[in-house]
Chains A and B, each alone.
Chain A
Amino acid sequence: GQNIDQPTEMTATEGAIVQINCTYQTSGFNGLFWYQQHAGEAPTFLSYNVLDGLEEKGRFSSFLSRSKGYSYLLLKELQMKDSASYLCAVRPPDSNYQLIWGAGTKLIIKP
């Protein structure tokens, strides 16, 4: 079967660093996406990883280990506006560009 696991909810403090993990078991792998979704709004694309390693984009970084079926999103210098759900999605090969979505991690930032 195909499965993606993320923690349901995390809490962090403004100014701190938080790591949101995602593990996947899929029949093949052709890349992993991270999206941010504020409550009641559309998901917005954050990052794409297809090779092992760390991709950095400003305050946000995403890491991938294909052998472990594992990714994480690292958010630094947290701001109140980072309070949102973070969705992990995997693209299997030959999938007609569909994505398998995790349930998302709700991140709560406290002052």
Chain B
Amino acid sequence: DSGVTQTPKHLITATGQRVTLRCSPRSGDLSVYWYQQSLDQGLQFLIQYYNGEERAKGNILERFSAQQFPDLHSELNLSSLELGDSALYFCASSVDAGPGQPQHFGDGTRLSIL
């Protein structure tokens, strides 16, 4: 158990819809990262938050947005969903106290667009 909690585990919805994925980081971790992983593909970095502030953006579509709340949990909002958005979405957290600190991953949310 990594200590990172993601909900829901599975989500099935239709094209054009909007969904919200939730992540609670490990206790003490201030950074949250969101990744997208399509079938048999590598991890695609979407966005990073640190202590409530956006810190870095990767290949995140304009239809996607995220935020980190004062209690440090984070939400990833996906709107106007397309078939190609079907993927595993991972949240990771880290303490960011030194370069050797690893990111710890949640179990992911599997999003299926029908």
Asked if B45 lies at the interface with its beta carbon under 8 angstroms from chain A, I say: yes
Chain A residues near B50 (CB, 8 Å)?
96
Binds B, one of A16-24, A43-51, A62-70, A75-83: A43-51
Interface residues on B, range: 20 to 34
Whether A101 touches B102, Cβ cut-off 8 Å, given contacts A40-B88, A42-B107, A96-B48, is no
Distance in angstroms from A34 CB to nearest chain B CB is: 10
Asked if B100 lies at the interface with its beta carbon under 8 angstroms from chain A, I say: yes
Nearest residue (CB) in A for B2 is: A42
Pair B31/A48 contact, Cβ less than 8 Å: no
Asked if A3 lies at the interface with its beta carbon under 8 angstroms from chain B, I say: no
Asked if B103 lies at the interface with its beta carbon under 8 angstroms from chain A, I say: yes
Q: Which residue, of B96, B99, B104, B106, has the highest number of chain A Cβ atoms within 10 A? A: B99
Asked if B18 lies at the interface with its beta carbon under 8 angstroms from chain A, I say: no
Contact bitstring B97-114, A, C-beta under 8 A = 1, else 0: 001111111111010000
What would 21 A/B residue contacts be, using CB atoms closer than 8 Å? A31-B99, A33-B102, A40-B88, A40-B110, A42-B106, A44-B105, A45-B104, A48-B100, A50-B99, A87-B42, A91-B99, A95-B56, A96-B50, A97-B31, A97-B48, A98-B48, A98-B56, A101-B43, A102-B42, A103-B41, A104-B42
Beyond contacts A43-B43, A96-B48: 11 other A-B pairs, Cβ-Cβ < 8 A, are A33-B102, A40-B110, A41-B108, A42-B2, A42-B108, A50-B99, A50-B100, A96-B55, A98-B45, A98-B56, A99-B103
Interface residue ranges, A against B (CB under 8 Å):
30-31, 33, 40-45, 48, 50, 87, 91, 93, 95-99, 101-104
